[in-house]
Chain A
Amino acid sequence: MWDVSSRTIVYAAIGAALYGVTAQFQIALPGTANVSLRPSFALVTFFGVAFGPIVGLFVGLVGNAIADQISGWGLLTSWNWSLANGLAGFIAGWWAMSMMQGQNKLVNAAVASAIGVVIGFLFVFTDIWLGTAENFGVAMSDNYIPVVVGDLIVAVILTPILVAAWEPIRESMGR
Chain B
Amino acid sequence: MAAGPLLEIDSLTFRYRRATEPAIRDLSLTMERGEVLLVAGPSGCGKSTLIRAINGLIPHAYPGEMAGVVRLAGRPTTELRLREISLTVGTLLQDPAKQIVGSTVESELAFGPENLGWDAAAMRARIAEVSDEAGIGGLAGRETYALSGGERQLLAMAGALMLQPSLYVVDEPLANLDPLTADHLLDVLRQLADAGHAVVIVEHRVEEALQLRPDRVLYLEESRVQYLGPVDGFLRVADPESVKLPFEVTLERERARDQGAVKQVVPRREHTELDVPARLAFRNVHVSLGDREVLRGLDASLAPRGVVAVLGPNGSGKTTMFRAGMGLIRPTSGAVEVDGNPAQGRSVAELARVFGYVFQSPSQMLFSRTVRDELLFGPRNLGHRVDDADGFAMATLRRTSLDGLEGILTRPPMTLSFGQQKRLALAIALALEPPTLILDEPSAGQDHRTANRFMDEVRGISGLESTYLITHDVDLALTRADRILVIRDGRVVGDGTPAEVIRDEEEWRACNLHQTSLMRANMAWRPAGHAFLDAASLARAILAQERAATREMEGGSTIDRA
Contacts and interface: CB of A to CB of B under 8 A. Distances in A.
Interface stretch (B12-20, B333-341, B453-461): B12-20
Interface in A148-175: 164-165, 168-169, 171-175
B415 A174 contact: no
A174 B18 contact: yes
B8 to A, nearest CB: 27
A173 B18 CA distance: 8
B63 interface: yes
Contacts of B17: 174-175
A172 to B, nearest CB: 5
B367 interface: yes
Nearest to B17: A174
A169 B369 CA distance: 11
B377 interface: no
A131 to B, nearest CB: 36
Contacts of B525: none
Given A169-B414, A175-B63, A164 B18 contact: no
Given A175-B62, A175-B63, A168 B414 contact: yes
B378 interface: no
Contacts of A164: 369
Nearest to B369: A164
B412 interface: yes
A69 to B, nearest CB: 15
A131 B181 CA distance: 58
Nearest to A172: B415
Contacts of A168: 412, 414-415
A21 B412 CA distance: 26
Contacts of B63: 175
Interface in B367-392: 367, 369
A173 B414 CA distance: 11
Contacts of A175: 17, 61-63
Nearest to A13: B101
Contacts of B369: 164-165
Contacts of B414: 165, 168-169
Contact of B16 (A169, A171, A174): A174
A164 B367 CA distance: 10
Nearest to A171: B18
A174 B61 CA distance: 12
A145 B367 CA distance: 32
A174 B19 contact: yes
Interface in A123-142: none
Contacts of A169: 412, 414-415
Nearest to B61: A175
A164 B412 CA distance: 10
B491 to A, nearest CB: 32
A7 to B, nearest CB: 9
A169 B18 CA distance: 12
B107 to A, nearest CB: 14
Contacts of A173: 18
A163 B347 CA distance: 33
A171 B17 CA distance: 11
A172 B415 CA distance: 7
Nearest to B366: A165
Interface string B49-74: 00000000000011100000000000
Contacts of B16: 174
Q: Which of B19, B367, B414 has the most CB of A within 10 A?
A: B414
A174 B15 CA distance: 11
Contacts of B62: 175
A169 B366 CA distance: 12
A173 B17 CA distance: 10
B20 to A, nearest CB: 11
A171 B16 CA distance: 12
A168 B414 CA distance: 8
A174 B17 CA distance: 7
A175 B63 CA distance: 7
Interface string B12-55: 00001111000000000000000000000000000000000000
Interface string B103-115: 0000000000000
B411 to A, nearest CB: 9
Nearest to B18: A174
B46 to A, nearest CB: 16
A174 B367 CA distance: 20
Nearest to B64: A174
Contacts of B412: 165, 168-169
A164 B61 CA distance: 26
A171 B367 CA distance: 17
B455 to A, nearest CB: 27
A174 B63 CA distance: 9
A100 B14 CA distance: 34
Nearest to B363: A169
Interface string B61-90: 111000000000000000000000000000
21 contacts: A164-B369, A165-B369, A165-B412, A165-B414, A168-B412, A168-B414, A168-B415, A169-B414, A169-B415, A171-B18, A172-B18, A172-B415, A173-B18, A174-B16, A174-B17, A174-B18, A174-B19, A175-B17, A175-B61, A175-B62, A175-B63
Given A165-B414, A169-B412, A174-B18, 8 more contacts: A165-B367, A165-B369, A168-B412, A171-B18, A172-B18, A172-B415, A173-B18, A174-B16
Q: Which 4 A-B pairs have the closest CB atoms?
A: A174-B18, A168-B412, A172-B415, A169-B414
